[in-house]
Every structure is written in C-alpha cells, then in structure tokens.
Amino acid sequence: MKNVTLIATGGTIASTAERAGGPVNANVAAHRLLDSLHERPDGITVQVEDFEAVGSYALDLETVHRLCTRIGEVLADDAVDGVVVTHGTDTMEESAFLADLLVRSDKPVVFTGAQRHAGAPDTDGPRNIADAIRCAASEGLRGQGAVILFEGDLHAAREVTKAHSSRVDTFRSPGLGKLGEVDDGAVYLYRRSLARSHVEAPRLDPGVELILLGLGSTPDYLDYCASAGKSGVVLSAFGRGNAPSGFAERIARLTEAGVPVVVASRCAEGRTLPVYGKDSGGRTLQEAGVIFAGSLSPIKARLLLSALLGGGAGDAEIRAAFEGAGSLV
C-alpha cells in the first residue's frame, strides 16, 4: 500500500462563491477536497493537511519557502511515498519550481489545482487531485523533482508555464513538451527531466526585481533599484538577451556596486546568448557584467536568484548556478 500526503494551500480548486455571481474565495479544507473525488485511487492511502487557504496571487516568497520546508519534512518520513500540493494556478509554476530547487528528497512532489472553482458543476479539481495522487505514488516519478499534473498531463517544474488564463488545459512546456500523462488511471512517463538544480537557502531574498522590457523601454527603473537597495535584478529581455538603448550603462553601475543582474529571454522558447553588440546588445550587456539565464524563463530566473542570494551566494557561485540551471543537460 502506497502512502501519499495531500497538502492544501487554497487556490481555485479550494474556492467557492458565497453567493451567485459573487467573488470566489478559498474556503475548502483539505479533507473536503479529498471527499470530492468521484473515486479514490486504488492501493493508495491519503493523509491530508491544510497549509494556508489563499489564492496563489496572494502568496509571497516567505510563505512558499515555509511550504517547501513543510514538503521536505513530510517526505522525510519513511512511510510517505510522495506529496500532492493543491495550489492556485496563477503562481503554481513558481511554487513548483521553488520546490524543485529547495526540496532535497527524490520522492515525487506533484502540484495540481483547478481552473473551475469547487462550487462549479463542472469543476476540474476532483479528477486532477485523483490523477495527482496516482503520480505521487508512482515509482517512475522518483528523482524527477517537482512536477505539475493538470488535465491529465505531467510537466516538469523547470519548464512548465501557465499558457491560458481560463482553459482547463492551461499548462504547457514550450519547446520541450510534457513529461508524460495519466490515462485511465495509469501513469505514463515519456521523457525524463535532466535539468535539475538544488539550492540550500534558509530564506528567499525578496529584494530581486523583475523588469519586462518592451520597445523603447527606458532604463530609469534601474536607478530606482540602485537607490532602493535592491539585492538583484532580472531583465525579461529581447530575443537572445538584448535590451533597449541605455541599459548597458545603467547595468554596469549596478554590477560594479555588487548587485547581480540576470538577463533572461522573454521568448517562450530558446536560450540567451551574447551575440549582438552596439549600445545594449547581448555582447555589450555581457561586458557590463550581466549573467545570462540560458533557457530559464524570466520568472524562474528571479526565483533562482532569490534562492541563491538567500543562501548567501557570491558572484562566482551565482554565475555557476545559472550556467548549470540554464542548460538542459
């Protein structure tokens, strides 16, 4: 008999409307989520616990760090084979990635949720929970790190993103595809995730800013980051890792002051590479001291930098970590 623990954190899957047409809020406890299953997966016992019932848009880094710590504590029990975390979809990919970075156990950690709230007649939550429990009990997912199970599809935390604001098949892994799927109660794994990193972080540094660049964006916000004492900056940059005019000069001021600046691509596929020169092309940004995120997305580059800074990493360690995390082999 396999033993899985379900940790409930709120989100749409645990939300209902107090009145018809009213706002939807998280208010469904873990045991009620389990009771909502149309049928329990065979051969698996499930323990439940409530963490914090909030929408994932209201979570902060300190709370998710505590969640990851709790996941690690649960998995340290030899009797537990895996963990399911019910979570809101807005930031699920971020919490799952942090769990991938921070939880040392090789036992499965499976995040799931719903796009239709618990009070909706066609809620997708119960089936997602049942499939996630099956995945958490699967031997094939050992060593794969944190994953997201949604609408039958399995995605690696490092690569997955929420691609649609409302559809029930919202999660995608651009350019790489899903790890596997659950079909008629059976778990199928089609590929393995090779790009995993672990960070020892007693805290997550909340002072890392993420800046999305657009046509003609000015570098003025970098001056704010410097004056406000921000601990790091991640740029969601163009293409291979290029920025508008003026960014290289302002970035150099930050890096010379010891503030790490990471450049990730705002493109859904591909990787950064310093190719272009002139004012703030990637090669010029490299000369200004930036760190390139490789194939890591901007939001996940921010989380990795927050974890590294929270663990006291210096420049050389940060660069080495991004070199490893930005590669898929």
> Average pLDDT by consecutive 10-residue portion of the chain (329 residues)?
97 90 89 93 97 94 98 98 98 98 97 95 96 97 97 97 97 95 97 85 98 97 97 98 98 98 97 95 98 97 98 97 76
Is residue 308 one of the residues assigned to a domain? yes
Angstrom distance (rounded) from CA 215 to CA 275: 19
- pTM of the predicted protein model: 0.96
CATH code of the domain covering residue 105: 3.40.50.1170
Residues 274 and 216 in one domain: yes
Angstrom distance (rounded) from CA 43 to CA 109: 18
Residues 152 and 292 in one domain: no
Residues 149 and 247 in one domain: no
- From 174, 145, 120, 129, select the one nearest 31 (Cα to Cα): 129
Residues 31 and 141 in one domain: yes
Residues 166 and 256 in one domain: no
Residues 34 and 182 in one domain: yes
pLDDT for residue 193: 83
Catalytic residues: 12, 89
Is residue 104 one of the residues assigned to a domain? yes
CA 123, 88, 160: angle at the middle one, nearest 5? 105
pLDDT for residue 20: 80
Is residue 197 one of the residues assigned to a domain? no
Angstrom distance (rounded) from CA 238 to CA 219: 14
- Domain range spanning residue 21? 2-189
SS3 content of the chain, % helix, strand, coil (to 5): 30, 20, 50
When divided into structural domains, the chain yields a total of 2
